[in-house]
Structure 1
């Protein structure tokens, strides 16, 4: 049991040291050290981030357009706010 525990601790320490070395490297060296599968994974993540950013932008644009249309369709909704600020 004790031997396994020391072996596990040693393995964890080796992994931690390797991760620290990797973290200290410039990004291009990190990619090279991780190998081609990490590069493919990074490209997938970047592509997904772009897709998500486009979709979020599209959704925000739709929401803003809907708010503008609602405001234009019911000018009475904006009138009390104007009247309240003008009366004070």
Structure 2
């Protein structure tokens, strides 16, 4: 739509990159990749303790951060981003 406003609808875990955004032809599903959550070398990450920053996507106390692909859809089934 031509509203000329931007609104944030997606953020990733600390230290990650959101990459590879791809929309289905009907606009109802947006696929994105979450890469390197809690990766050593990111600001504030202790390589010996990767869970100190992120344990995404499982959120378990013993879970290690892992990359993932997400499929984002609207609850009402309409096009994403409108």
TM range (shorter): under 0.3
Task: Select the structure that is richer in strand.
Answer: 2
Q: Normalising by structure 2, report the TM-score.
A: 0.25
Q: Normalising by structure 1, report the TM-score.
A: 0.24
Higher relative contact order (CA 8 A, sep 6+): 2
Higher Rg of the two aligned structures = 1
Task: Select the structure that is richer in helix.
Answer: 1
